[in-house]
Amino acid sequence: MQKLPSLREASVQGKRAFLRVDFNVPLQDGHITDDRRIRAALPTIKYLLERGATLLLCSHLGRPKEGKVDPTYSLQPVRTHLATLLGRPVNWIADPFHLQPLEPGSVSLLENIRFFHGEVQNDLEFAQILAKWADIYVGEAFGSVHRAHASVEALPRLMKEKYAGFLVEAEWENAQKVLTAIEHPYTVIVGGAKVSDKLPLLLHLLPKLDRLLIGGGMSYTFLHATGLPIGKSLCEKEQITAAKEILNQATALNKKVLLPQDSVATTEFRSDAPARTFPHEIGAFPEDYMGLDIGPATIQAARPFLLGSRTILWNGPMGVFEWEPFRNGTAKIAEFIAEETQRGAYSLVGGGDTASAAELVGVADRMSFISTGGGALLELLAGHTLPGIAALLS
């Protein structure tokens, strides 16, 4: 396993550290509704401060028009909240073009980096401007390492001293446990809405895994590909051929695959719509119903399917878990994974919705590792090179 340059090996006393964080948090009326991403960076921030570094923090927030200041996406609310979490002032840098001395041992936050031309284009000249602010670079924005942006890719390539923050280091090392350092039997559980989102991951992991459980909206494309009825459930018709190829390849490689045997279904996509359970058998699943969760027969089959796993990757919920009538499948699978983890299996839970589901059903603290990355994790699991990681290793 290739190791990232560790912050623990750095000498940071008296140095200015450019810390690229992921403070892309949800805001409502100017207030942060979920600060997990900010709290995830605190160990690295505190470590650097305790060892005498001066910090300039950099992040994006939302998707403003590149190069245009939009107060809706200002990091000022983040600055206020971070100061509360740290119990100390956080200075404000309105833009990176006016270089100024940073008070030794202080913490400063730069305004939303996407407000400035050059960030999204990964412009070298813009990265050179950023480089003037610091002596060392610390990459701590795992949620952005799949983006070839100036503060993520071009800047660390310019810096002689560059390190992975503790969060990025942990994300990288835990991902290797389901990519290279695998203990078998290896079970992969995928869900969510779209086959297209998970197709690269499935193609890359299929030769490595032993068991594959497919649930969520994407499972209906696979069921349709096998000729089973799905009513008016979600189906990506343009992915049917790809789904057939995945299933055929799994058979050729002698992999065990579990598709939903039944679904909790309704006639309308509403949280209060009456729900019924139907098996996916010819003549048994009504044409006017759509599946929104795996059913009890699938749950019952999933328990022995997961039993004895030594490595488990879970990416994607089993249904519309946000609505209580369609939460049971996701909750039960989460519980089964937690039970196997307690028996000694390694479990990686990835994706924003999956992490939220694990927390909602109360099993997050019983998993081995919960990733903060969405798109970054998917690309890493698909075997792609991540620009922000490659820059740290360069």
Q: Is residue 369 part of a domain?
A: yes
Q: Which of 138, 168, 198 is the last residue of a domain?
A: 168
H/E element, 359: helix 352-360
- 143 and 181 housed in the same domain: no
Cα-Cα-Cα-Cα torsion 91, 95, 100, 102, nearest 10 degrees, comes to 30
* Residue 390 placed within a domain: no
384 DSSP assignment: P
Gap between the Cα atoms of 328 and 131, Å rounded: 50
155 and 182 inside one domain: no
Q: 107-110 and 91-93: which strand pairing?
A: parallel
Q: For 325-383, how does the pLDDT look when each residue is reduced to its tens digit (9 = 90+)?
A: 999 999 999 999 999 999 999 999 987 789 888 988 899 999 999 997 788 999 999 99
Q: Are 161 and 127 in contact (CB under 8 A)?
A: no
Q: Is the pLDDT of residue 304 over 80?
A: yes
- Tokens (6 digits) for 343: 């028996």
Total residues found in the chain within this entry:
394
Answer yes or no: do 243 and 158 share one domain.
Answer: no
Give the CATH number for residue 207.
3.40.50.1260
> In terms of Cα–Cα distance, which of 367, 313, 369, 377 is closest to 182?
313
What total number of domains does the chain contain? Answer: 2
Say what the pLDDT of residue 372 is. Answer: 79
End-to-end CA distance of the chain: 16
- Report yes or no on 212 lying in a domain: yes
pLDDT band with cut points at 50, 70 and 90 for residue 65: confident
Cβ atoms of residues 221 and 244 within 8 Å: no
Confidence at 279, pLDDT banded by 50, 70, 90: very high
Structure-token pair, residue 108:
């400063």
Q: What are phi and psi of 346, to 5 degrees?
A: -95, 130
Share of the chain above pLDDT 90, in %: 90
Q: Are residues 181 and 294 in the same domain?
A: yes
pLDDT of the residue at 104 = 96
User: The domain containing residue 136 runs over which residues?
Assistant: 7-168
188 shares a domain with 117: no
Domain membership of residue 141 (yes or no) is yes
The tokens describing 268, both together, are 């309308």
Q: Are residues 213 and 362 in the same domain?
A: yes
Q: Are both 196 and 64 inside the same structural domain?
A: no
User: Do 213 and 271 fall into the same domain?
Assistant: yes
Instruction: Characterize the bridge pairing of strands 31-32 and 27-28.
Output: antiparallel
Residue 391 lies in a domain: no
Residue 255 pLDDT greater than 90, yes or no: yes
Q: What is the per-residue pLDDT for 17?
A: 98
DSSP state of 177: T
389 located within any domain: no
| Residue 1 pLDDT > 80 | no
The whole-number average pLDDT for the span 248-262 is: 97
pLDDT digits (tens, 9 = 90+) for 168-190: 999 999 999 999 999 999 999 99
Look over the chain and give the mean of its residue pLDDT values, rounded to a whole number. Answer: 95
Is 327 part of any domain?
A: yes
Boundary of a domain, candidates 168, 195, 230: 168
Q: Is the CB of residue 373 less than 8 Å from the CB of residue 189?
A: no
156 lies in a domain? yes
Q: Is residue 152 located within the same domain as residue 220? A: no
| Per-residue pLDDT at 92 exceeds 80 | yes
Alpha-carbon distance of 4 to 223, in angstroms, equals 41
**Shared-domain flag, residues 211 and 258:** yes
Tell whether the model's pLDDT for residue 58 goes beyond 70: yes
* Of residues 137, 131, 167, the one with CA closest to residue 22: 167
pLDDT at residue number 47: 98
pLDDT, tens digit, 9 for 90 and up, residues 7-54 = 999 999 999 999 999 999 988 888 899 898 999 999 999 999 999 999
User: Is 52:12 a contact under the CB 8 Å cutoff?
Assistant: yes
Residues known to be catalytic = 37, 194, 352, 375
Please tell me whether residues 192 and 127 are part of one structural domain: no
Helix, strand, or coil (residue 305): helix
Q: Which of 168, 201, 227 is the last residue of a domain?
A: 168
pLDDT in tens, 226-238: 999 999 999 999 9
Residues 314 and 356 in one domain: yes
Are 318 and 329 spatial neighbours (Cβ–Cβ below 8 Å)?
Answer: yes
